Every structure is written in structure tokens, then in C-alpha cells.
Amino acid sequence: MSEKLLYVFYQDSLDSPAIHEYVESIDRLNELVEIQYTETLRPDISNAIYLHEQRIHVIPDWLDKRPAFIFPSEIPFTKNYFLGTVFGMLGNEEKFPQYFTGFPAMLYVFDLIQAIINGKECDTFLENLLSRTNFIHPFENYAFNHNVAIALNYGHYSQELNADAIDAHYQDALSLAFEPSYKAFTLKYYANFLIDKGESKKALSLLDKQDMTALDDYPKFSLEKAWCQASMKEISFPYDGEQLTSLKNRLWETLQFFDKQGHKTIAGLLWVDAATIANYNNSYSESLGYISKALTYFKDEGQQELVAQAQLVRGRLLYDWAQSGKPQFYRSALEAYHEALHVFKKEDAPEVFADIHHQLGVIYAELPDENKKRSIWAALSATSFHEALDYYNKVDFPYEFGMICNNFANAYTKYPQGKRTDNFEKALNYYEEALSVRPASTYPTERALTLLNYLEASWKVGNPDDGFNTTRFNDMVAKANEIKTLTKDPQLISETEEHLRLLKKMEKEWTVEALKK
């Protein structure tokens, strides 16, 4: 099939002359539009309209190529409505409104589509959509609720929206949908909304109630994809082997479908998920193969931002591989993160930029090399940590600030010692910063881990000439005793008790030495 911006399919050959006449009536429109006969709908093509029984039909887009609005079911096949639909699908904002002066329902849908695509405020367009409340056919009521949910979910507005209103419209649309494919279409976006809202369990519950066998392939595997996304949100360490196997099997079946159909962007996203799951299983080589496949697909499709996002995943799995005893992969992880920085720049994506520098700070600190070069890596590590803290400040992002400070302190304990600096003293300062935003009441485990790190570094801080620092000793005892109030984890308690034992031993030895004097 030649590549065109829009495909017009007809099922009745009697419609063909009129279609060609309407297209030819607009100069050079035939260069953008392909007209073809078809016996069935083509869910594998998003940019398409259909002519059947003197009606224009725009079917749901299962490939996420346009905002997911539902079009009216009764669009008469007239020259104006046909050309309006064509220009609307082509995104020509100057032309499509003039053809829909007598069909506001179509005008409002295309207005919202273009507003969302172009990042415009949708207040007025939403008001227009909400003004239509008299519905003759039940499908119109369903489409109204679905479209309002999509408009609220994906549009930009002058005031912050209530998520409950979005939820209510999705639920109303689900209850009003009487055709399985349309119900599945709404369910797909409702599930994604719930996942984004942190309610993946609720999304899974709804998806599990859906009879997948009753659906055609595109609705079925679109919902399977949503199920896999929700399931991945629910996976946590220590990983459940049975849960991972179930997820892997369903993900693989879904991936194979979209891959065989040639939908590289969707398949690429699923390859990223497959790489993540393989990483959970410590199957690093398998994981690297999957993420490489995703990168190839995204590059083929010209999806540079997705390429960069895949590089973030690649960097993470290479770092994990390096941590598992393959230090040669630290450098490959650095390369992946630096590739991502070509897209995620500080001025355009400050949060992602900061996240990347946080990871770079960690990796540079752990990079094995000769001492002279390690000093260079230490400087780069510190620079990256400062870049991360420049965005994740203490006031606006206390949790992230604490995490970065804790890791910066860990990094200081790994930097080569300078002649005029005490890296362990600096580490203690950053641990203190982390502790300042990790209160026991809110983050007991994180606080316990930071306190334990603090104790480890405290042993290595320079001491006064007499070899004993009473202030530090009391500080360490207090922090060790606090850990015992924060956690019941056997490993953490055991390490804490060992610190207390060594502290008690040191105190006893110092007392003996003092008495001798």
C-alpha cells in the first residue's frame, strides 16, 4: 500500500465515483488521500475513514495514533461532511470547520482532537461538547461520556481538574457501551487512567472481568497490553515467580501479535517491558537483547524520545549487570545514560535530566579504574549529584532530596581520599541532610538504612590525636539505638548489634588505655 496521509475505504462500488469526484474537487487533495475498496474494516490502519450504506464511519483507533475520541455513528455521506471529515482527519484546522456548520457534533470532536494534539487550552472546546445533552440514540449517550472522559483526561485546562469527574465519565461510558469493541475501547483508556493515577489494582480487577475471547484481535491485545502494564506496576521485590511467569507469558503473546502486524512503536514498548521482566529474573543477556530490539524499532520509526527512554532502561539493566559481578558494564551503562541526555535536556525535561544525573553520579563513583583516573570520575560524580540536587531541592522534593543525598554520601565513601579533604566527613554531612527529610514517622525503613550508612562512615572519619572522639562515640551509640526502634528486619538489626558491640569494645579499650596513663 502506498504511503498516504489518509485512506478512504468503500464497500459499495456505487460510492466510488462520488468519492473520487469530491477528492478531485480540491486541488492536490488526491496527493494526500488513497481511495480503496475493502470488504472489511481495517483496525490495523488508524488514518482511515469508511463509506458504507451512504454513511461515513470513523472507527476507534487501536494504535494510539490520535486522541481516542468516538465519532458519531450517523454521519451522512454528503460532499460537505465527507470533505470535513477528510480535512479533520488530516488535521487541517483552517478547512474542516467550514464543512461542519450544520453538524456541531463532528466539529466539536475535531476541535478537541486538534487542541489536545497542539497543547492548546481546551476549556471552550469542552464547554461546546458539554452543551450537547439531548441524545436520540443510546450510542450518542455512550459516546458523549467517553469523549468527555478523554477530553478531561488528556486535555489542558486553565484550572486543575477533579480526577473523580474523569473517573465518573469513564464508568458511565462503560455502563452505556453495548457493543463489545466500543466497551473494550473505553476500558483500555479507563485502565490507563487508573494506572497513571496509581490504582493499578483496580485496573487489573476491571480487566480481569473482561472476556477477552469475545473480542477481535485488536481490542483483545490492546486490553492485554493494558493488563501487562498494570501487572508490572504491581510487581515488587521479592518477586513472585508464578506472578512473573504469568505476566511474561501474556506479555509475550501480546508482543508477538503487534510485532507480526508490523506495529513497531507498540511492539517496541512491549520489548522494553520484556527487557524489564528479564532483568527482574536476573537474565541480563536476554534483557539486553530485548532492549536492543526496542531501540532498533524506535529508531526505525523515528521516535527519538522513545529511543532515549529505552536508553534509560538499557542504562539501568547494564548497571544491574555490572553490580552482579560484571564491572565491565559500568561504562556501557554510562554510555546509555549519556545517549539519553541528547534528548532529555535540562531546559526541556529538567526532571528526567536530574534523574539521569543522579544515576550518573552513582555509576561514576563505582567505576573501577586506577587511582589517578578515579579522581576524575569522582569529580564527574560529584558534578552529576549537584545537577540532580539542583532540581530535587529540599523544599519541593524532600523524598527525592533525601534519596540523592544518601547516595551522594555513599559515593563520597568510595571516592579516593584527597590530601586536604576528608571524604568521610563530607559523607556524614550528606547523611545528615538525608536524615533531615527522612523522619521516623514517615520513612522508618529509609531512615534506618541511612543511619546504618552513617555508622559505617563514622568509623572511618578522622579522629583527634588521642584516638577517641567522645562526641562522635555518643552520636554513633544514639544512632545505633535509634535503628533498633525503626525496624525489625533481622539483617539490619544484626548489623546494628555488631556496631554496638564494636563501640562497646572500643570504649572498653580506650578506658583501659586511659587508666594506664
Which amino acid makes up residue 508? K
Give the count of alpha carbons within 13 A of 475, CB side only: 14
Q: Is residue 493 part of a domain?
A: yes
Tell me the per-residue pLDDT of 286-305, one tens digit each, with 9 for 90 and over.
999 999 999 999 999 999 99
Collapsing DSSP to helix, strand or coil, 145 comes out as helix
Residue 419 confidence (pLDDT): 65
Q: What is the pLDDT of residue 1?
A: 43
In a domain, 414, yes or no: yes
Torsion of CA 306, 312, 318, 323, to 10 degrees: -160
State residue 463's pLDDT score.
Answer: 61
| pLDDT reported for residue 333 | 97
C-alpha to C-alpha distance for 84 and 98, rounded to whole angstroms: 8
Phi, psi at residue 96, to the nearest 5°? Answer: -65, -30
Q: Which of 165, 198, 218 is the last residue of a domain?
A: 165
- Give the closest residue to 134 by CA, choosing from 104, 166, 170: 104
- DSSP annotation of 121: B
Which of 143, 165, 187 terminates a domain? The answer is 165
By C-alpha distance, which of 389, 387, 383 is closest to 406? 389
What is the per-residue pLDDT for 4? 82
Which of 69, 27, 273, 88 lies closest to 173 in space, CA to CA?
69
Asked if the structure places residue 252 within a domain, the reply is no
Classify residue 295: in a domain, yes or no: no
pLDDT at 370: 86
Give the residue from 79, 64, 66, 76 showing the smallest Cα distance to 105: 76
Is there a contact between 352 and 313 (Cβ–Cβ < 8 Å)?
no
What CATH number does residue 502 fall under? 1.25.40.10
Contacts of residue 93, defined as CB under 8 A and 6 or more positions apart, other chains included, come to: 114
Q: How far apart are CA 395 and CA 148, in angstroms?
A: 36
Number of domains in the chain: 2
| Alpha helix ranges (H) inside 261-397 | 264-280, 284-300, 304-323, 329-341, 350-366, 371-391
Provide the residue range defining the domain that includes 465: 383-517
Using an 8 Å Cβ cutoff, are 390 and 406 in contact? no
Last residue of a domain, one of 165, 184, 208: 165
Which amino acid makes up residue 51?
Answer: L
Q: Give CA–CA dist 110/511, Å, rounded.
A: 83
Q: What angle do CA 313, 443, 358 make, to 5 degrees?
A: 30
| Residue 249 belongs to a domain | no
Residue 289: C-alpha distances to residues 100, 314, 414 (Å): 50, 10, 32
Q: What is the DSSP letter of 31?
A: G
Does 444 map to a domain?
A: yes
pLDDT in tens, 166-188: 999 999 999 999 999 999 999 99
Q: 142 in a domain, yes or no? A: yes
Residue 1 domain-assigned (yes or no): yes
Residue 411: per-residue pLDDT: 97
C-alpha cell at 59: 472507527
- What pLDDT is stored for residue 200 in this prediction? 97
Kindly state the cell numbers that stand for 378.
569522582
Question: Which cell numbers hold the place of 125?
Answer: 472546546
Residue 6's SS3 state is strand
Residue 75, strand partner residues: 56
Low-confidence ranges of the chain (pLDDT < 70): 1-2, 419-420, 463-467, 514, 517
Cell of 275: 527487557
Q: What is the arrangement of strands in the sheet containing 55-57, beginning at the earlier edge strand?
A: 33-37, 6-10, 48-52, 55-57, 75-76
Longest dimension (CA), the chain: 112
Contact 142, 118 (CB under 8 A): no
> CB neighbours of 127 closer than 8 A, spacing ≥ 6?
none
Cell numbers found for residue 215:
473480542
